[in-house]
Amino acid sequence: MLKPAERMPGPFVPTLPGRHEGRDLVDDLIDEYIPPWAQQMIVVLGDVSDIVDDMRVYHTVFLIPMGNNEYYGTQSWDIVEFDYRGNVVSDSPQNILGFTVHPEDFTSREICGTFYIDRHRIENVVGGLVRWAIEAMVTIVSCSSSDMPCYYSLEEALEDIIDCDSIAVAIEDLVWSIWEDAPSVYSPVFSACNSQKQNAINAILNALDNITVQLNLLSLRGMSPIVTDRDMHPGRWFGSLAGGNFTGDFTAIRP
């Protein structure tokens, strides 16, 4: 006797979200697990150029008379500082770079009430100052806000921007809500997230290291009216760095 054929259960195929819904899920994950303060870190990196433009160096110069109003100059950097969000960030080159900064000696001369400083070089300094400024700015932004942890390095902040553990748990919960017998996806999701996160962090840090290498040679020449025998201003620097030219201001005071 023939029995009506029974429909055998086929393999369970979960109904997955549509393209628009899937995009919303991804956006929700990003909104939830990439903290709002991450945007502030992007702003910090965008502020670096302005900070470097306004950075100040206090240095001591010794001028040795050579006759005919010409001088031989030596100098050492004492303090480097900049302003950021109402804070004055200041430290010695020794603490910032791990070594004292003694720029190349220079020749100079007085002509008709104006003091001229010949071109001289400062090596292996600027890139390290950029890295120091970034770390200091990260600390200022993070430690002055109650909405984010306090960080003392860019790498620490980047590590926490993406919470791979929470993302992996959320995706696993999402899969299990669709298919309760699904195998765990936590490990592959966490590994993929962590790998990509580390790749991104390494790319940023490598870019900063490359900046340090590229900005290894600064050269300056300058001139200033001689106001009194103890005061020169407004002085003007004419510099070159990484193939580009820039200008800066200086004031010289004799103690």
Q: How far is CA 41 from CA 120, 192, 235, in A?
A: 36, 23, 35
Average pLDDT over residues 240-250: 92
User: In whole numbers, what is the pLDDT of the chain averaged over residues?
Assistant: 84
139 token code pair = 């600390």
- What is the tens place of the pLDDT at every residue in 124-168? 999 999 999 999 999 998 998 888 889 999 899 888 887 888 878
Give the residue from 248, 8, 255 showing the smallest Cα distance to 117.
248
122-126, 208-212, 237-241: the lowest-pLDDT one: 208-212
d(CA 219, CA 205): 26
Tell me the pLDDT band of 48, cut-offs 50, 70 and 90. confident
Residue 177 scores a pLDDT above 80: no
d(CA 64, CA 42): 48
Using CA atoms in the order 55, 235, 95, 139, what is the torsion angle rounded to 10 degrees? Answer: -10
Q: Please give the residue that has the higher pLDDT: either 67 or 46.
A: 67
Q: 245: helix, coil or strand?
A: strand
Q: Please give the residue that has the higher pLDDT: either 48 or 9.
A: 48
Q: Please give the residue that has the higher pLDDT: either 15 or 193.
A: 193
Spell out the alpha helix ranges (H) of the chain: 19-33, 38-53, 93-97, 126-143, 154-161, 164-178, 186-214
